[in-house]
Amino acid sequence: MAAQKIILVTGANQGLGYCIVSVTATRDPSAHFILACRNVEAGEKAVEELKKNGITASLEVLKLDVTNDDEIVAAVDAVTAKHGRLDVLVNNAGISRFPKDASLPALRAAYTEMLQVNVSSVACVSAGFRPLLAQSAHPKVINITSGLGSITNCLTKKMNRSPPYGTSKVAVNGLTAHLQTAENDRVAAASSGEGGPKVDYYSVAPGFLKTAFTRFNERGKDPYAGAEVIVQLILDEAGEYQGGTQWEFEQGKMQQVPCLLVQAASLIDDLRGLGLSPGTKIGLASNSSGFTQRWSSYDAPSYVAAVKPVTDKDVAKVIAFAANTSTPFLSTGGGHGFSTTLDRLHKGIELDLGNFNNVSVDADANTLTIGAAVRFRDVVGPLGKAKKELPIGSEPCVGMIGATLGGGVGRYSGLHGMILDSLKSVRLVSAAGEILTASTTENADLFWALRGAGFNYATILEATYNVYDETAPSVLNADFLFPPNASQALLQYFKSFEADGLPAKLALVWLAANNEALGGSFIMINAVYVGPKAEGQKYIQPLFDAFPIRSSQVEVPWSQVNAAAFFGNEPANYTCPTNSPHNVYGGAVNHFDLDTFQTFYENYDNLTSSLATQLSGTVYFIEFFPNQAALAVPANATAYPWRNITAHLLLNFAYNATSGLDDKINAFAQGARSNFSAASGFAQPELYVSYGHGDEDLATLYSKENLPQLLQLKKKWDPQNVYRYNYPLIR
């Protein structure tokens, strides 16, 4: 009969440690569990709760502060006296700390404490119990690490991270490797089993868990699910898992986490072996020099390698390789996407299309052709020089093709429709690695789907648009700065256009924020009228009557509207921001319910005022664009379903996601989104897909009417679901 297995778990009175005991004891009730805790009373309460929940295995509480050497010695003596051996040691106890302030002493204290608890104590506890482990037939030490402990993740993924904590987990992985190497050397040099059987050391990454450790963050996974990877190692009697390895439990099975630097080197070697053109850049990660940087680091994808091709065939080779090897990848143009679904891409390839930056205007043919990396600000100069225009977005740093694939909203939609309505054709690489053209006459079914759901089907290399003669040589750009107490008057002004709709030449954008340099909370209104000041003045006079703190009116050509807007806040030489966290939620309404809008603004202003420093950079937009030309396009002409939206809402929360604000911000934003949806005036929820947070249902993003055809085309053009990260149709 097998001896009773003795399992000791540090920090076992709550969180992951408690769940490890609970799940393991449920599956192996014959084992004996030692709950090692700093607070014996808390450990005893945990034992009571486990028993109440039906655990029948024998349970024992052991006082152990892992940072106290005397207590480690006493704990070892206690286990020796009572059991004479230890079969499994789980080093679960750990902490996460942030520096109390920006001073060097505070920083040093944070690192010292983190390394003391998370690393030195793991080493000391493991060494202390080593003689008892030597008495076991199959001894194991399981060290809890984190995805933050991966050097490659640090280099390739903008995570919600803390350098002190992440550094400590890098050290835990290194400690595990060194302990295993030393143990292997000992066994190889020993004779007659001297020193006992080989101890297997493991690192495990349970994932980001919803526990007290993370302040019960709503984005965390169930800690019982996180415990599964540890439980599998504890219960492994066949020696299936080799010591010195790191494991995670994902997609219902154990998965070994290779040394990610080795994985990166292997993947980079594979990419170099594809025979890509000279000039193609291949590197470790997207935050390396020479690769396109993402706008937002919030829930960003995780890359192992990045490749920046120079030809269409290079792109096709990379995509074919990724598809054939089931390697996840994401094509990056402007890098401005912010869907939280992008976080599902782990250890993949960034396919950086930054070299596809061509801009060509054919004034005679009234066309514009651009490469995949071109942003809105790159096209205004060449088009303005040719006295041409087309609808573009109001943020100059956004990639133009990416915006087009979602629909593309902007100030000129009353005159020329949505951006996708101007799209004439695209050259692309399919999920199968084929270079194709799509238009209304060639691969027309794919072209239909690309316009409104394009993230799901292909990588666009180049796009050609129809352009238009400039509507007016000068455009009125008017900006207004108001205090918060003007909100009701401004909302009533917006609502005054509701019955007849905005004139086709008028566009309004509301921006609300809190900036201590500007005296705190404020509201800015940008009004653009496609025509001279004398003609547009009557439409914006009510804004002057609302007594702005500051106002400005300038007449500029179409090509300078974005640079002039909001008092010239983003001029032509503006540096596009990168690698900062943006937690974004969108909304849409058919009419302005004044009570809903005013209540939200008051709540938003209270939130941003109370957390002015933490939420610095947070903005709330109302984009009130005309839609006459957009509505004139037949509903079934493209896959974009929501041409009837009156105003788009965008809540851009900028904050350090490790600051503990995540739950508060998400709860606030989700509540606001629900309230706006209820008062939107739509029969069913509607949302411009590119403004989605990423958690919306498919019908809200793509419409229940379009979904069957979109899914059918998905099966035809991407049956392996290669394109599955950016607002995916198949989740």
Strand partners, 350: 306, 330
- d(CA 167, CA 150) in angstroms, rounded, equals 9
For residue 408, the tally of other CB atoms under 10 A from its CB is 30
Tokens of 571: 């001029």
- d(CA 551, CA 532) in angstroms, rounded, equals 17
CB distance 622 to 410 below 8 Å: no
- d(CA 720, CA 723) in angstroms, rounded, equals 8
For residue 312, the tally of other CB atoms under 10 A from its CB is 15
CB distance 682 to 590 below 8 Å: yes
Reduced to 3 states, what is the DSSP secondary structure of residue 68? coil
Residue 219: Cβ-neighbour burial (10 angstroms; 0-12, 13-18, 19+): middle
CB distance 76 to 129 below 8 Å: yes
Tokens of 90: 């789980």
Question: According to DSSP H, which parts of 498-593 are helical?
Answer: 533-545, 561-568
Angle value at C-alpha 144, between 227 and 106, nearest 5 degrees: 125
Residue type, 619: V
For residue 224, the tally of other CB atoms under 10 A from its CB is 16
Q: What phi, psi does 230 have (nearest 5°)?
A: -70, -45
CB distance 526 to 566 below 8 Å: yes
Q: What phi, psi does 657 have (nearest 5°)?
A: -70, -10
Reduced to 3 states, what is the DSSP secondary structure of residue 516? helix
For the chain, count helices (H), then strands (E): 24, 26
- d(CA 128, CA 80) in angstroms, rounded, equals 11
- d(CA 51, CA 695) in angstroms, rounded, equals 38
Reduced to 3 states, what is the DSSP secondary structure of residue 63? strand
Q: What phi, psi does 635 have (nearest 5°)?
A: -60, -35
CA quadruple 624, 630, 632, 634: dihedral sign: negative
Question: Which residues lie below 8 Å from residue 273, measured CB to CB, with a gap of 6+?
Answer: none
Residue type, 80: T
Q: H/E element holding 450?
A: helix 444-453
Tokens of 85: 């051996």
Q: H/E element holding 435?
A: strand 435-439
The Cα-based distances of 331 to 298, 447, 580, 670, 699 in angstroms read 18, 18, 20, 29, 25
Question: Which residues lie below 8 Å from residue 575, measured CB to CB, with a gap of 6+?
Answer: none
The Cα-based distances of 234 to 138, 183, 243, 247, 643 in angstroms read 10, 19, 12, 12, 57
- d(CA 332, CA 228) in angstroms, rounded, equals 35
For residue 242, the tally of other CB atoms under 10 A from its CB is 10
**CA proximity to 377, closest of 351, 403, 361, 395:** 395
**CA proximity to 106, closest of 166, 170, 164, 167:** 164
Q: What phi, psi does 478 have (nearest 5°)?
A: -125, 135
Residue type, 613: T
The residues annotated as belonging to the active site are 165, 169
